[in-house]
Amino acid sequence: MPNAPTLEALGDSAVLLRFGAGLDAHINAQVHRAAAQLHAAQLPGVREIVPAYASLAVHYDPAAFLHCDFARNGATPFSVIGARLLALLHDARDTASQIARVIEIPVCYGGEFGPDLAAVATHAGRPESDVVAQHSAGTYRVAMLGFAPGFPYLFGLPETLHMPRRANPRTRVPAGSVAIGGKQTGIYPGELPGGWHLIGRTPLRLFDADRIPPALLAPADEVRFVAINADEFKRLQAGDA
């Protein structure tokens, strides 16, 4: 059975529940189970729940915990909500995990869309076609969103495609670029600087401030990449995918 998380204060209105450290898919899955359990509990006073690789930030309204019995006995809002969070997770940790959404992402690999595909293939010791086949064959999980609004860090990259980040990051990476960095793959939601290896590009808009919700992907979603050609890319792009 997983260990209970440790608690840390983030200022005076947030709690960090730490489940472990590093890029570990099992720990990350525990984070997302806890996030689903806390969302379902709808604890009064909780404003936002933000999962990361190995931790979960819970933002709360301190005033909501100032008038309870514990607070009157000298406890702080942090200690009150911390105790409640641990109790909720303890009571619910054997429940079934949330069913993940599965999102298909069309990707045009190589060429102008993926200028680093050849370098990744050389590093892996495989033809470019094998890299494309491997990258698009698996199912990935959104470990967290970060770096920029809507940027998904994805677990599930085959070990043969792991590759250190570029020695010299680019100052401009096109929006929609699908890339490899270390043990992960990700998608740039806008034109940004970046040091990951670009292997393809999607016509989908990963982030749109006028859309509800703005981000196409959410933590714990499952992602499958679907290889498309340049003509299909242009058709989907023209349709404002």
Q: Are 113 and 231 in contact (CB under 8 A)?
A: no
Sheet containing 55-60, strands listed edge to edge, beginning at the edge strand earlier in sequence: 6-9, 14-18, 55-60, 46-51
Specify the DSSP class assigned to residue 175: T
* Local structure of 76: helix, strand or coil: coil
Residue 206 is predicted with a pLDDT of 96
Written as tens digits, the pLDDT of the chain (241 aa) is 466 899 999 998 999 999 998 888 899 999 999 999 999 989 889 999 999 999 999 999 988 877 665 556 667 888 888 888 998 888 765 554 567 899 999 999 999 999 999 999 999 999 999 999 999 999 999 999 999 999 999 999 999 999 999 999 999 999 999 999 999 999 999 999 999 999 999 999 999 999 999 999 999 999 999 999 999 999 999 875 5
Give the number of residues written for the chain: 241
Q: Is beta strand 140-145 parallel, antiparallel or unpaired with respect to 177-181?
A: unpaired
User: CA 164 from chain center: how many Å?
Assistant: 19
- Give 14's strand partners: 59
CA 130 to chain centre: 26
Domains and CATH numbers, the chain: 6-92 (3.30.1360.40), 102-238 (2.40.100.10)
In whole angstroms, what is the distance from residue 63 CA to residue 193 CA? Answer: 40
Q: Which amino acid is at 71?
A: A
pTM exceeds 0.95, yes or no: no
The two three-digit tokens of residue 145, written as one number: 């969103």
Return d(Cα 29, Cα 110) in angstroms, integer.
32
- pLDDT value at position 240? 59
Q: Which residue do the tokens 């590759």 mark?
A: 163
